[in-house]
Structure 1
């Protein structure tokens, strides 16, 4: 049987070959993968050159060469930032926007063809999600969002679905407290979403009150991203948001059917307390003073 390192290297070779990482003409558009990735980053809304460089993991010299090649093709324009002369920004030209759309269409077709090869595309996608989360964990960001945003609603839908599967009595969000997350937004609270390369992979809500007490609600991490420290990172972010709002006491509830949640709270400074609400689902209650 192949050892773990050999299996990883086999995977690396397969992916490198499949995506055309070493091709001089990535997806047949006349430029290598590096230049295509810079063009894609700009097309996806990133404009600050230092941010793009960090996001792609490029050194300054290579980034400069790639930008110069795209400028010479007439696909991008670079300029000094309007509010900070120390920063430079990049934007797509009209030709650049056409090229970005062409790459998007080709990349989508490549992905669809790849999935069509396998008899179990859902299992293949699950494996890809796990790998993507593991490789991209250092680039994942925690962002405050409206709980009605598309990303937040996706996370909440996945969270509710998981509770329905794991609770013996099922789960109906309408029976829980604050099902619409109305108090999980400023100035009373906050809703935080973990984003990895544009995809939501976790969330947590801070449900505020009129005083200095708030509750942590709706902590969820995608199965593909578990074991990477993201739940603790979301909790830390929620505590930071609470401090910024002047909240001094946090409470939360959970169910013993979620032992990993109880373990997280017990090892991060929370203490178990008596029941403090009439929600029909939780059977464990915690408090933390900030």
Structure 2
């Protein structure tokens, strides 16, 4: 990794934490540090499951428990017992907690305004645009990609969302039973795998691989990115991850087919070095077939 880039990231972190007041144990001039204030805000007006809070903020359970105990002691939060099994515990704001959250919102607006006020209109526009870009890139860096069993709930969610989107976008809909299969047993090694992307512990994308060691070729299937994270480069990253996994398992050629309605996917494949070829299967929903070679073909 480039040392200059790492140094710039660290300088940015120091500047931001100081400018927003994160270093003080009295964030926004309230009698609590940033961690407590952020947790109060995340709980929200309707409450939140504690495990969801941990996932969204990427905090360990012990630290979240300590923050919640502090907020409970101040009379701002109540935590239920999770019912009979005690596993699904929920934090809710008290009336005092709602009032405190509203006050934090007001003061946060004031801090944001104080950042913008000294700048010219042009500088404000530049800063806001830069912040938006930084936020998107930081979100992109927070996405994880892992191989999951096709029966995992996150994997099921992605595949169902994929099927639903194709059904909406294809002329005449989409019936996976008519399409070339990518069944559970085909998406487990050594036959294949399913890669799932997650952000804040929520599934936001997937891509499947069907490996064919006898032909040194692999098929890319079930490529999907949640609309909420499109524009973060996740499609390109999923594709590259699938290619790397395929090559690591002996594939030298990557193949995929797609429908004419998926114009953004077609553009992605071409930009990633895939070339359009003659049809290599009888997929009824395909209009375009693509191929990409990695290294020399096998004998």
TM-score bracket, shorter-length normalisation:
0.5 to 0.7
Call closer, same or farther: CA 1:245–1:199 in 2, change over 3 Å: same
Deviation at 1:166, TM superposition (A): 0.7
Q: Note the alpha carbon deviations across 1:159-210, whole angstroms, 9 max, x for none.
A: 1111111111210011111142431221122110110001100000011124
Structure 1 gaps, min length 5: 1-20, 46-51, 57-62, 75-95, 111-131
Deviation at 1:269, TM superposition (A): 1.0
The answer as to 2:155 corresponding to 1:139 is no
Equivalent residue runs for 1:20-169 within 5 Å: 24=31, 32-33=36-37, 44=54, 55=58, 70=66, 104-106=90-92, 136-169=139-172
Deviation at 1:97, TM superposition (A): 11
Q: Secondary structure at the match of 1:106?
A: strand
The answer as to 2:246 corresponding to 1:242 is yes
Q: Of the candidates 196, 199, 203, which is equivalent to residue 196 of structure 1?
A: 199
The residue number in structure 1 matching 2:189 is 186
Deviation at 1:254, TM superposition (A): 0.3
Q: Secondary structure at the match of 2:289?
A: strand
Q: Secondary structure at the match of 2:250?
A: coil
The 8 Å contact of residues 249 and 287 in structure 1, kept in 2 or not, is answered as: yes
The residue number in structure 1 matching 2:132 is none
The answer as to 2:242 corresponding to 1:215 is no
User: Hey, what's the Cα distance between the residues in 1 that align with 2:204 and 2:52?
Assistant: 23
User: Hey, what's the Cα distance between the residues in 1 that align with 2:90 and 2:31?
Assistant: 18
Q: Note the alpha carbon deviations across 1:256-276, whole angstroms, 9 max, x for none.
A: 111101100111111111001
User: Hey, what's the Cα distance between the residues in 1 that align with 2:36 and 2:279?
Assistant: 60
Structure 2 gaps, min length 5: 1-26, 43-49, 71-78, 98-134, 295-299
User: Hey, what's the Cα distance between the residues in 2 that align with 1:185 and 1:172?
Assistant: 23
The residue number in structure 2 matching 1:176 is 179
User: Hey, what's the Cα distance between the residues in 1 that align with 2:240 and 2:153?
Assistant: 23
Deviation at 1:41, TM superposition (A): 7.6
The residue number in structure 2 matching 1:264 is 268
TM-score of the superposed pair, with normalisation by structure 2: 0.58
TM-score of the superposed pair, with normalisation by structure 1: 0.60
User: Hey, what's the Cα distance between the residues in 2 that align with 1:199 and 1:258?
Assistant: 24
User: Hey, what's the Cα distance between the residues in 1 that align with 2:269 and 2:88?
Assistant: 48
RMSD of aligned alpha carbons: 4.2
The 8 Å contact of residues 51 and 88 in structure 2, kept in 1 or not, is answered as: no
Q: Note the alpha carbon deviations across 1:241-264, whole angstroms, 9 max, x for none.
A: 112211111100001111101100
The residue number in structure 2 matching 1:280 is 284
User: Hey, what's the Cα distance between the residues in 2 that align with 1:233 and 1:178?
Assistant: 24
Call closer, same or farther: CA 1:134–1:280 in 2, change over 3 Å: same
Call closer, same or farther: CA 1:204–1:261 in 2, change over 3 Å: same
Q: Secondary structure at the match of 1:238?
A: helix
